[in-house]
Amino acid sequence: MDKRNTNDVSSSKAVSRGYIRAANEYPMLTAEEEKNVAERFVLSRGFRCSEKLILSHLRFVIHVARGYSGYGLPQADLIKKAISA
């Protein structure tokens, strides 16, 4: 592995750790909380409701991205793509 690839891997791991730290800052919602927030979102189309739903699912996004880690794609790229989708 040349120096450039080593730096890319290190950078990707640092980005992944950053996403994981960020995801851990937001609490997971219970099923009841998720239902209530989703209903409020449907009624109001409020930014805070959508933000709460999205941020509470970041850990799940990271979990799914880790499942694809054996396909040769950097984990950080998978997470970024999943978040932006």
pTM score of the predicted model: 0.62
What distance in Å separates the CA atoms of residue 30 and residue 84, rounded to the nearest whole number?
24
Run of H or E residues at 34: helix 31-44
What's at 5, amino acid-wise? N
pLDDT (tens place) for every residue of the chain, 85 residues total: 444 454 555 666 777 787 788 888 888 889 999 999 999 999 988 788 888 888 888 888 888 888 887 888 888 888 887 777 6
Q: What distance, in Å, lies between the first and last C-alpha atoms of the chain?
A: 31
Q: Are 11 and 71 in contact (CB under 8 A)?
A: no
pLDDT of residue 7: 52
